[in-house]
Amino acid sequence: MKNLLLALSLVWLLASCNNEKATKSGPASDFPGKLTEQEIAGGRLTPEILWKFGRIGDIQVSPDASTIVYSLTRYNAATNESCTRLYLMPVEGGEPELLTSMKAFHPRWTPDGSKIGFLSAESGDVQIWEVEQGAGDPVKISDIEEGINDFEYSPAGAKLYYIKDVKMRETPQERYPDLPLANVRIIDELMYRHWNHWEDYSYSHIFVAGIEGGMLGEAKDILEGEAYDTPLSPYFDGAEINWSNDGRYIAYSCKKMNPTEYATSTNSDIYLYNVEDGATKNITEGMMGYDKYPVFSPGNDLIAFQSMETPGYESDKDRLFIYNIETGEKQYLSDGFDQNVSSLSWKEDGKGLYFISGVQATFQFYEIDIATREIRQITKGDHNYTSLAQAGDYIVGGKMTMAMATEIFKVDKKSGEETQLSFVNKNIYDNIEMGSIEKRWVKTTDNKDMLVWVIYPPGFDKTREYPALLYCQGGPQSAVSQFFSYRWNFQMMAANDYIIVAPNRRGLPTFGQEWNAQISGDYGGQNMKDYLSAIDELKKEPFIDEQRLGAVGASYGGFSVFWLAGNHDKRFKAFISHCGIFNFESMYTATDEIFFVNHDYGGAYWDKENEIARKSYATSPHKFVKNWDTPILIITGENDLRIPYSQSMEAFNAAKLLGVPAKLLYFPDETHFVQKPQNSILWQREFFAWLDTYLK
């Protein structure tokens, strides 16, 4: 399934490259990244313009720290297609240069920096290609049956590993060869579907191969015979696997358990594989939460990794540990640091690490000294850094804000001074006015200070009265940070003359673990009061019309909207819920990750002796549906296996039976997220048509 999904997405992502004329600096003038005169005259963000943003990804720095290679994807909404290509840019700054006219993604420098490897489906299945920097045509170096998903060079050279799906379970047709037209899934374990794909009888495995004469040699499956995924489903994040710098070891994350255990546990471990003798060792045995993202020190004697402590709790604190390969000793480095760590990168001298951490709804670069355990924040400001790569005296990374899609910046390691290197969407910002963003602190009902972002329409006039939207965040534990979303875009809402009130309510990270953890077992409790504290405080402003308030949200935010619909005391005049939980009881046995509902609900609905579970199920939105009296738009995707579409259908049917004005948007080819260009544009049009009907 992973290869099938990858192949289908590549057809969609890369097909329109055939019609694009490549230039050094970017797309040809007739490519859809260019704004029309009508769009420029409008001067505001629209769904169509949102799909003209260039999307930067996979930022990689050359071994000599002089050059950046990155991917850039542009979309053509008229055809539902897009084009991804690779570009080079000096770390010192300057014009980007097209690396190759091929459709390509996942760039990686060879260890000596002379070539760049990448993935492409140019010849059919996804394979590895290489091109010399600045000269020559790309050369295909792999010919793997059915293609691959990922790869990484060994820092020591001459080898690489690649990720490929390996079929390991019997299909119904193989079991009953006389019934080739039978169409059935025979299921005898849990985790038969996960987020957006069904079990497909195969598993993601790591293969190690040498490079001989410009081609991959014979490969070894290091999980041969093991029916487990690495990287972990459902994200298959390649950063969960890493080479040692001497090429001797590969460390990888895996949940080596049967599918039913997989559905009820978060206990992933990190395994150390010896490339020379094939021995494998579990280095986190006995650590019962998620253990992931191993990174070897420059001297190859230590491994840094992220670790969660609590079994079954997927949003626990991401702690920084180091493991000594020789002694087996582990050290908890970030003890006392009440924040998560991510994107670990060793300093060149091996005496410390750089990492990204969230603080007060922003994401910043940090460093830690191993000997003293002193942690220093390097960057400050209202922004999110989303990736980290070292380049000598600088850190290079992707940076975004609520008013800026990801661009590449470099940061001085000592001073924290930032320099913007890429300007992919300058043509849009030069012609489209973005709304201003304000940070407010609002008192909650229990006298806590809560950060609330307020986003104002372009050309905001404080003498006018505007309708306002309470934005309910998903997750449930995902910060309302300085993200730029291509779905739930605050600037899009502001461009339609709405003021957005976006609270970092209870249960959101970057405000300490107590604030983050409080929500578990209390879905209908304090965090709902936090929502109402935010909107009640802001509606006092003379420029907000308290008679024109709406509430919108997706996932946990969609649940929040369903809950508020039965408990809002006439505050709101319109609701929009996307892929929300409506009925806790049916959700418990219909979702894929049972560990999630076990932790957040407190257990199963049939466990009558469990006080936490009883309290949780009593707050299910369907218990309050008799109070619904406000128009509601409900949205879902048929392939959402995380919060199955039946939850949205239950809510819609209930609303119609109660005589509440309601509309259902049902996308047969979308998942938990609406990602195809024309589906997304339709989503936006229906979204604002609904709000305009009831709030303007």
Nearest Cα to Cα of residue 370 among 324, 318, 316, 422: 324
pLDDT exceeds cutoff 90 at 56: yes
What is the per-residue pLDDT for 28? 37
Compute the C-alpha angle 383/386/389, nearest 5°. Answer: 120
pLDDT band at 17 (very low <50, low <70, confident <90, very high): low
Q: What is the DSSP secondary structure assignment for residue 491, as one 8-state letter?
A: H
Q: What is the pLDDT of residues 122-134, one digit of tens each?
A: 889 999 999 998 7
* pLDDT at 555 (0 to 100): 98
Q: Tens digits of per-residue pLDDT, 232-253? A: 999 999 999 999 999 999 999 9
Work out the average pLDDT over 523-552.
Answer: 98
The pLDDT value recorded for residue 73 is 96
411-453, pLDDT tens digit by residue? 999 999 999 999 999 999 999 999 999 999 999 999 999 999 9
CA distance 208 to 230: 14
- What pLDDT does 32 receive? 54
| pLDDT of 30 higher than 50 | no
Measure CA 274 to chain center. Answer: 31
Q: What sign has the CA pseudo-torsion 258, 284, 307, 206?
A: negative
Specify the range with the lowest mean pLDDT, choosing from 19-33, 177-191, 425-439, 520-534.
19-33
Evaluate if residue 389 carries a pLDDT over 50.
yes
Q: Where are the domains of the chain?
A: 433-695
Of 219, 97, 99, the closest CA to residue 160 belongs to 219
**Mean pLDDT across the stretch 330-357?**
98
Average pLDDT of the segment spanning 532-542: 98
pLDDT at 27: 42
Query: CA–CA separation, 279 vs 194, rounded Å?
Result: 31
The pLDDT value recorded for residue 248 is 97
Q: Which CATH class is domain 433-695?
A: alpha beta
Is the pLDDT assigned to residue 579 strictly greater than 80?
Answer: yes
Residue range 21-25: average pLDDT? 43
Burial 373-395 (b: 16+ CB within 10 A, else e): bebeebbeeebbbbbbbbbeebb
479-503 mean pLDDT: 97
pLDDT at 578: 98
Predicted local distance difference test score (pLDDT) of residue 339:
98
Burial of 589 (0-12, 13-18, 19+ CB in 10 A): exposed
Structure confidence by residue, pLDDT tens digits, 463-481: 999 999 999 999 999 999 9
* Contact by Cβ (8 Å): 165, 142: no
Sign of the four-CA dihedral 520, 525, 531, 534:
negative
What is the H or E stretch that residue 513 is in? helix 513-517
From start to end of 429-543, where are the E strands? 437-443, 449-455, 466-472, 499-503
Residues serving a catalytic function are 555, 640, 672
| pLDDT > 90? residue 301 | yes
Q: What is the mean pLDDT of the chain?
A: 94
Confidence of residue 7 (pLDDT cuts 50, 70, 90): very low
CA angle, corner 99, sides to 96 and 100, nearest 5? 140
- Scanning the structure block, which residue is given the tokens 């201003």? 436
Q: Mean of the pLDDT values across residues 658-679?
A: 97
136 confidence band (pLDDT: 50, 70, 90)? confident
> Is 374:334 a contact under the CB 8 Å cutoff?
no
Q: Is the pLDDT of residue 563 over 60?
A: yes
